[in-house]
């Protein structure tokens, strides 16, 4: 009877301990002792036993050869080499037996060539599954104990941190190669650009790439697994990477262990060193949300109250939309997102009432104009709100200094390229390509420098012009006098309106009625119902 031998190890640690060689050496001696003719040896190095046999390299080749009748007996060191779950083992045995191949363990008393052997195989498959689950449970308990103590238990360390010799996360303040900034400084810069200067993630990514800040993979020379090959990453910052960093609670000092797994397990929240303050982290989240709401590339109409209206029933935002009215003339409403997304309290479509856009926009705008022209006693609250919105000037000046240093470095790079050409180490085509690249990067930096200079000048003007709420009101009055554009009106509304909440109720006649509550920055709350709009066209 022609036989084949299958060996498998499940981790790189086992490969280093050469356990697969142990299996092969044992199989060689076993076959010599029992005078078994081995026609083929199949090896899967570093392959998990939970992966089906047909999805492994050597396993797929083994099944193909079994169907071709190249052998009639398969030898394994132990049954768990075929798999580490009962389903995988029994499926593999079934596939092999369909081709007429019998399975025999060289260290366990079973052989699928007889009924008792097949019965024992089923028991051993269950034992292998139980053994694996027991080991995993013990590992999880041990990992959870270490996690509660604050230790970092593997995985990619967040940018801006490193793991010390004791296994704890600490802030990485080491300078990046060729720069005066550390990873932690880059994180602070990202949060400052978004939280204070309201940059988009695209703009931040372009900015970091233009000044040559290396991402983690490029800095460390790491590669990413892709299939069975390991390839270099692009080595550039992307908007999605920036967004993932902004929403990561680790940067404000809170890490959740176990959150990324798909398995049901305990989520452990522990404190880690914070790179940014909780206040700045929260401001960055709000800017991300605002930037998303302000993205109006696909909007057919500009909505004055976009992102400001919340549903009192399901808590989701209202968004603007249009419906065909009489004569196909569009009727514009604000509609709760819960009507189309099956989320929230009602586990289905939200029954909230639609709000006529023209009515609510005119009502809110009228309240804003009334306050600007007759502010009354609300000035103290507005002054407090204004103080919260002011941004610092020192950070902008430090950033400007960094940009100008980067521009100087581009000049040095240009000279280095020319020196290489003089030494005939690069061709003229290489020189042209590199000089064009440096020129583009320098132009981007110069534009950024000019924009920073404008912002610093604007901050100085704001500091001088808006020292108190009265001056802000004077500025708003001047905008009103100039027939304000939609952008000016939108900015005024965002300045003066905290939130608009719509509570849908049933009146005495059983009809839905929307009660609208507008909460202004100047501590005034205006309540009204959509009945106020019943005689006005939408």
- Please check the confidence at residue 429 and state whether its pLDDT lies above 80: no
> b/e per residue, 447-482, with b = 16+ CB within 10 A?
ebbeebeebeeebeebeeebeebeebbeebeeeeee
Q: What is the pLDDT of residue 344?
A: 42
Q: What is the pLDDT of residue 508?
A: 78
- Please check the confidence at residue 534 and state whether its pLDDT lies above 50: no
185 and 129 co-located in one domain: no
Residues in the chain: 538
* 88 vs 294, more confident: 88
CA distances from residue 362 to 321, 340, 504, 530 in whole angstroms, order as listed:
17, 26, 20, 13
- Contact criterion met (CB below 8 Å) for 402 and 181: yes
The angle subtended at Cα 400 by Cα 236 and Cα 170, nearest 5°, is: 55
DSSP letters for 80-141:
GGT-SSHHHHHHHHHHHHHTT-EEEESSSS-BTTSHHHHHHHHHHHHHHHHHHHHHHHHHHH
Looking at 237, 256, 284, the residue that finishes a domain is 284
- Contact criterion met (CB below 8 Å) for 21 and 55: no
406 and 365 co-located in one domain: no
**Alpha helical stretches, state H, 177-235:** 183-195, 201-210, 216-220
Whole-angstrom Cα distance, residue 288 to residue 246? 8
Q: Which is it for strands 512-520 and 497-506: parallel, antiparallel or unpaired?
A: antiparallel
119 and 76 co-located in one domain: yes
Looking at residues 69-81, what average pLDDT do you find? 89
- Please check the confidence at residue 75 and state whether its pLDDT lies above 90: yes
CA distances from residue 62 to 3, 39, 45, 360, 400 in whole angstroms, order as listed:
12, 12, 15, 71, 64
- Please check the confidence at residue 102 and state whether its pLDDT lies above 60: yes
Q: Look up the domain containing 424 and give its range.
A: 394-465
260: CATH: 3.90.1750.20
Q: What is the pLDDT of residue 228?
A: 41
Looking at residues 503-518, what average pLDDT do you find? 85
- Give pLDDT tens digits for 377-391: 655 555 555 555 455
Kind and range of the H or E run holding 3: strand 2-8
> b/e per residue, 350-372, with b = 16+ CB within 10 A?
bebbbbbbebbbebbbebbbebb
- Contact criterion met (CB below 8 Å) for 350 and 339: yes
Looking at 118, 146, 174, the residue that finishes a domain is 146
Whole-angstrom Cα distance, residue 248 to residue 274? 11
Whole-angstrom Cα distance, residue 82 to residue 78? 8
- Short-list 253, 240, 234, 164, CA closest to 200: 240
Is the residue at 473 inside a domain? no
List of long-range contacts for 398-401, beta carbons under 8 Å, 24+ apart: 399/189, 399/192, 399/452, 400/449, 400/452, 400/453, 400/456
- Contact criterion met (CB below 8 Å) for 255 and 266: no
- Give pLDDT tens digits for 21-71: 888 999 999 999 989 999 999 999 888 888 899 999 999 999 999 999 999
Is the residue at 474 inside a domain? no
Residue found under tokens 């009489």:
326
Q: How many domains does one find in the chain?
A: 4
| Residue 441 binned pLDDT confidence (cut-offs 50, 70, 90) | confident
Whole-angstrom Cα distance, residue 468 to residue 177? 45
Q: Which is it for strands 309-311 and 497-506: parallel, antiparallel or unpaired?
A: parallel
- Short-list 112, 51, 47, 105, CA closest to 79: 105
Is the residue at 206 inside a domain? yes
- Give pLDDT tens digits for 180-220: 889 999 999 999 999 988 888 888 988 898 888 888 766 66
80 and 194 co-located in one domain: no
> b/e per residue, 250-276, with b = 16+ CB within 10 A?
bbbbebebbeeeeeeeeebeeebebbb
**Alpha helical stretches, state H, 35-81:** 57-67
Is the residue at 472 inside a domain? no
Annotated catalytic residues are: 10
343 and 194 co-located in one domain: no
- Give pLDDT tens digits for 477-494: 888 887 888 888 888 888
Looking at residues 302-309, what average pLDDT do you find? 85
424 and 510 co-located in one domain: no
Is the residue at 389 inside a domain? no
Mean pLDDT of the chain: 79
* 23 vs 264, more confident: 23
Whole-angstrom Cα distance, residue 332 to residue 533? 13
DSSP 268: E
Where is average pLDDT lowest: 15-24, 94-103, 302-311, 400-409?
Answer: 15-24
Whole-angstrom Cα distance, residue 375 to residue 136? 66
186 and 317 co-located in one domain: no
Looking at residues 72-94, what average pLDDT do you find? 85
Sequence-separated (6 or more) residues with CB below 8 Å from residue 78: 105, 106, 107, 108
- Short-list 151, 178, 176, CA closest to 187: 176
- Short-list 15, 14, 87, 88, CA closest to 51: 88
275 and 304 co-located in one domain: no
* 362 vs 452, more confident: 362
254 and 354 co-located in one domain: no
Is the residue at 289 inside a domain? no
Is the residue at 383 inside a domain? no
- Contact criterion met (CB below 8 Å) for 388 and 342: no
- Contact criterion met (CB below 8 Å) for 522 and 496: yes
Q: What is the pLDDT of residue 194?
A: 92
Looking at 88, 122, 146, the residue that finishes a domain is 146
- Please check the confidence at residue 536 and state whether its pLDDT lies above 60: no
| Residue 464 binned pLDDT confidence (cut-offs 50, 70, 90) | low
Q: What is the pLDDT of residue 489?
A: 86
338 and 403 co-located in one domain: no
| Residue 465 binned pLDDT confidence (cut-offs 50, 70, 90) | very low
CA distances from residue 473 to 46, 177, 364, 383, 455 in whole angstroms, order as listed:
69, 49, 17, 10, 22
19 and 137 co-located in one domain: yes
308 and 450 co-located in one domain: no
- Please check the confidence at residue 277 and state whether its pLDDT lies above 70: yes
Q: What is the pLDDT of residue 348?
A: 65
Q: What is the pLDDT of residue 109?
A: 74
Sequence-separated (6 or more) residues with CB below 8 Å from residue 24: 5, 7, 41, 43
Is the residue at 52 inside a domain? yes
| CB-side neighbour CA atoms (13 Å) of 485 | 2
**Alpha helical stretches, state H, 326-393:** 357-373, 379-389
């Amino acid at each position: 009877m022609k036989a084949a031998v299958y060996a498998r190890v499940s981790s790189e640690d086992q490969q280093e301990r050469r356990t697969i060689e142990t299996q092969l050496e044992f199989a060689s001696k076993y076959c010599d002792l029992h005078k078994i003719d081995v026609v083929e040896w199949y090896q899967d190095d570093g392959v998990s036993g939970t992966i089906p046999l047909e999805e492994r390299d050597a396993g797929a080749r083994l099944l193909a050869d079994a169907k071709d009748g190249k052998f009639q007996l398969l030898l394994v060191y132990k049954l768990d080499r075929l798999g580490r779950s009962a389903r995988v083992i029994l499926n593999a045995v079934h596939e092999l037996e369909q081709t007429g191949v019998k399975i025999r363990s060289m260290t366990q008393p079973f052989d699928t060539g007889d009924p008792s052997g097949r019965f024992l195989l089923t028991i051993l498959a269950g034992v292998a599954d139980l053994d694996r689950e027991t080991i995993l449970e013990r590992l999880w308990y041990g990992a959870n104990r270490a996690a509660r103590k604050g230790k970092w238990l593997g995985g990619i360390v967040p940018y801006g941190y490193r793991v010390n010799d004791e296994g704890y996360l600490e802030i990485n303040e080491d300078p990046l190669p060729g720069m005066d900034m550390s990873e932690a400084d880059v994180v602070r810069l990202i949060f400052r650009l978004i939280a204070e200067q309201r940059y988009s993630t695209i703009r931040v990514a372009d900015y970091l790439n233009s000044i040559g800040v290396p991402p983690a993979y490029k800095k460390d020379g790491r590669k990413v697994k892709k299939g069975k090959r390991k390839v270099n990453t692009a080595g550039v910052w992307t908007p999605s990477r920036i967004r993932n960093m902004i929403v990561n609670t680790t940067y404000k000092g809170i890490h959740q262990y176990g959150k990324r797994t798909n398995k049901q397990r305990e989520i452990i929240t522990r404190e880690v060193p914070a790179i940014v303050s909780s206040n700045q982290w929260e401001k960055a989240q709000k800017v991300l949300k605002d930037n998303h709401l302000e993205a109006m590339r696909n909007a057919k109409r500009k909505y004055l109250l976009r992102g400001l209206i919340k549903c009192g029933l399901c808590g989701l935002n209202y968004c603007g939309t249009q419906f065909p009215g009489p004569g196909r003339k569009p009727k514009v409403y604000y509609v709760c997102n819960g009507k189309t997304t099956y989320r929230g309290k009602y586990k289905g479509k939200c029954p909230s009432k639609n709000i006529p856009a023209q009515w609510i926009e005119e009502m809110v705008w009228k309240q804003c104009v009334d306050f600007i022209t007759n502010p009354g006693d609300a000035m103290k609250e507005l002054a407090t709100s204004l103080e919260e919105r002011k941004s610092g000037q020192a950070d902008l000046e430090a950033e400007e200094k960094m940009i100008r240093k980067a521009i100087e470095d581009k000049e040095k790079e240009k000279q280095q390229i020319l020196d290489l050409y003089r030494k005939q180490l690069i061709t003229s085509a290489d020189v042209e390509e590199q000089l064009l690249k440096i020129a583009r990067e320098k132009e981007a930096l110069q534009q950024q420098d000019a924009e920073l200079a404008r912002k610093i000048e604007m901050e100085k003007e704001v500091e001088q012009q808006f020292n108190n709420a009265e001056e802000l009101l004077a500025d708003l009055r001047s905008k009103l006098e100039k027939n304000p554009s939609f952008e000016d009106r939108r900015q005024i509304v965002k300045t003066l309106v905290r939130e608009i909440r719509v509570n849908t109720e049933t009146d005495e006649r059983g009809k839905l009625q929307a009660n609208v509550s507008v909460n202004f920055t100047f501590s005034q709350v205006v309540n009204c119902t959509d009945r106020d709009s019943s005689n006005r066209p939408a």
